[in-house]
Amino acid sequence: MRLALSAGVGGVHQGAWRRPDSRTEDWGTPELIISLARETEAARFDAFFLSDVSSPNRALTRVQAPYLYFEPLLAAVAIARATSRIGVIATASTTFHEPYNLARQVATLDHLSGGRAGWNAVTSSIGEQNFGRRPWPDHAGRYERAAEFIDVVEQLWDSWEQDALVHDRASGVFADIDKIHTIDHEGPHFAVAGPLNVRRTPQGRPVIVQAGSSPAGRDLAARHANMVFTAQQDLAEAQEFYRDLKARAASYGRPGTDIAILPGVSPIIGDSAADAKAIQESLLDLVDEATATARLADQLGGIDLTGIGFNEPIPLERLPAAADVERRRSRFQIFADLARNERWTVRRLVGLEVASYGHWRLVGTAEQVADELERWFLAGGADGFIVMPPYQDALTRFFARVVPILQDRGVFRREYTGRTLRDHLGVTYPQNRWAS
């Protein structure tokens, strides 16, 4: 077993844009994203992951870099055409899309990339202000819609059997129409007749990735996903998540090997442990306190942090119950647990939010970082990782310093052996539900 690695580049992290090596001027240009994807492919990663929110930060400020995201499916096409082996995963929300269009777009990406497409199905926790005519569903409602959405998408991807096209010039038979299926779906959220107008894709079905770690999110992943993106703070939690998700998958008749679980990791790699710590501190120095505190308040379910000193813990009565948090519930849980159980100060919590917005932080030498990744992998905490650089150059350092160590230890590939994202992840090709 080898670990799976994906690069997760989404936006510019708070404060880090001020570093001299940030390439901040290039954010939001095709050159940067394509050069990063090529670098990631040269490091033999499984996938390049385009996370997404569909709108800029809620409150734009003079000091904070706004989320600048290309529309991920379009960006994924450009990346796919500029690379040849790496998987390309695009985030698209089940709350803001329609399943027919999305199924068609991702199927198209799978064809255009030669079987390297992945779709990160998210329910979204922000962005509703740009889709204002529809009511914004609550957490449970978003997951109900997501479940039906993904079910429709999978049916559409199956609507063409592999050998539906006959092309028999002599007899004049173009297609075996018994192998092209309508879906005639009628559900609470969607009415979709089908079939798709895109033939079956190289992967049969493109890889579904799921991000959202509450029980409802886990259940959705267990039923449909081949890859799960999660935020985990320590090994014990990661192992619990890992066991739970694989058990849920088993309850749907799916082998655990069919779902790769990848926690996000935000690495800071120094020449020495002290150097890495110094980089970490310097990132915190670049942050605007007021903006950072507002973001922390948001992660904590929108609570009021006024009157609490930067070096004080948060009074427990200010923390809401998880069930009352309608946006990122599982992320709220991470920050609330640290505030409640570990009594972290505002400053420490802000440090986590700034560096990795709640993802696992790894700060040390390349050896130390490689050791920790390997430890989680061997201890059943992860099948791999989504490497999310806290600043631009951190990714390049990871490629140059950590990847060779993992390769020398035999836990990461030196060369691609497969052609598709499913091959890279080692997950099975789905059987078409109509195939006999």
Ligand X SMILES: Cc1cc2nc3c(=O)[nH]c(=O)nc-3n(C[C@H](O)[C@H](O)[C@H](O)COP(=O)(O)O)c2cc1C
User: Alpha-carbon distance 59 to 115, whole Å?
Assistant: 39
Among residues 45, 48, 160, 229, the one that binds ligand X under rule CB under 6 A: 229
Among residues 97, 329, 401, 422, the one that binds ligand X under rule CB under 6 A: 329
Question: Smallest gap, in angstroms, from Cβ of residue 328 to ligand X?
Answer: 4
Q: DSSP per residue over 397-431, as a string?
A: HIIIIIHHHHHHTTSS-SS---SSHHHHHTPPPPP
Q: Is 230 in the site for ligand X (CB under 6 A)?
A: yes
Q: Which of residues 407-426 bind ligand X (CB under 6 A)?
A: none
Q: Is 266 in the site for ligand X (CB under 6 A)?
A: no
Q: Is 217 in the site for ligand X (CB under 6 A)?
A: yes
194 with 176: CB under 8 angstroms? Answer: no
Burial 260-292 (b: 16+ CB within 10 A, else e): bbbbbbbbbbbeeeeebeebbeebbebbeeebb
User: Alpha-carbon distance 68 to 79, whole Å?
Assistant: 17
C-alpha angle with apex 47: 267 to 52, nearest 5 degrees?
75
Quick one: how many helices (H) and strands (E) in the chain?
Answer: 14, 13
Cβ closer to ligand X: 204 or 358?
358
CB atoms within 10 A of CB 202: 18
User: Alpha-carbon distance 327 to 128, whole Å?
Assistant: 11
Contacts 24+ apart (CB under 8 A), 174-178: none
Q: Which stretch binds ligand X (CB under 6 A): 150-158, 176-184, 308-316, 322-330?
A: 322-330
Q: Which stretch binds ligand X (CB under 6 A): 34-42, 73-81, 224-232, 306-314?
A: 224-232
Reply yes or no: is the peptide bond before residue 195 cis, omega within 30 of 0: yes
User: Alpha-carbon distance 69 to 53, whole Å?
Assistant: 7
CB atoms within 10 A of CB 185: 18
Question: Smallest gap, in angstroms, from Cβ of residue 264 to ligand X?
Answer: 6
Cβ closer to ligand X: 90 or 350?
90
Q: Is 296 in the site for ligand X (CB under 6 A)?
A: no
* Residues constituting the chain: 436
In angstroms, how far apart are the furthest CA atoms of the chain? 82
Q: Is 299 in the site for ligand X (CB under 6 A)?
A: no
Among residues 64, 113, 125, 155, the one that binds ligand X under rule CB under 6 A: 125
Cβ closer to ligand X: 124 or 368?
124
Among residues 3, 53, 107, 222, the one that binds ligand X under rule CB under 6 A: 53
Query: E strands of 331-410, at which residues?
Result: 360-364, 384-387
Among residues 87, 99, 202, 264, the one that binds ligand X under rule CB under 6 A: 264
Q: Which stretch binds ligand X (CB under 6 A): 38-46, 123-131, 201-209, 387-395?
A: 123-131
Among residues 328, 397, 413, 422, the one that binds ligand X under rule CB under 6 A: 328
Q: Is 226 in the site for ligand X (CB under 6 A)?
A: no
Distances (CA, A) of 210 to 26, 132, 290, 353, 435: 29, 25, 32, 22, 26
Cβ closer to ligand X: 308 or 322?
322
User: Alpha-carbon distance 87 to 154, whole Å?
Assistant: 19
Cβ closer to ligand X: 43 or 53?
53
Cβ closer to ligand X: 51 or 83?
51
Cβ closer to ligand X: 99 or 217?
217
Question: Smallest gap, in angstroms, from Cβ of residue 117 to ligand X?
Answer: 16
370 — phi, psi (to 5°)?
Answer: -60, -40
Q: Which stretch binds ligand X (CB under 6 A): 30-38, 49-57, 158-166, 181-189?
A: 49-57
85 with 421: CB under 8 angstroms? Answer: no
Size of the site for ligand X (CB under 6 A): 22
Q: Which stretch binds ligand X (CB under 6 A): 51-59, 265-273, 288-296, 400-408?
A: 51-59
430 with 204: CB under 8 angstroms? Answer: yes
Q: Which stretch binds ligand X (CB under 6 A): 76-84, 160-168, 266-274, 323-331?
A: 323-331
195 — phi, psi (to 5°)?
Answer: -75, 180
User: Alpha-carbon distance 378 to 383, whole Å?
Assistant: 9
Is 159 annotated as a binding-site member?
no
Q: Which of residues 56-115 bind ligand X (CB under 6 A)?
A: 91, 93
Site map (CB under 6 A) of ligand X, residues 134-163, x = contact: ------------------------------
Question: Smallest gap, in angstroms, from Cβ of residue 140 to ligand X?
Answer: 10
Among residues 89, 231, 268, 395, the one that binds ligand X under rule CB under 6 A: 231
Residues making up the annotated binding site for FMN are: 52, 91, 139, 143, 213-214
Q: Which residues bind ligand X (CB under 6 A)?
A: 51-53, 91, 93, 122-125, 211-214, 216-217, 229-231, 264, 328-330
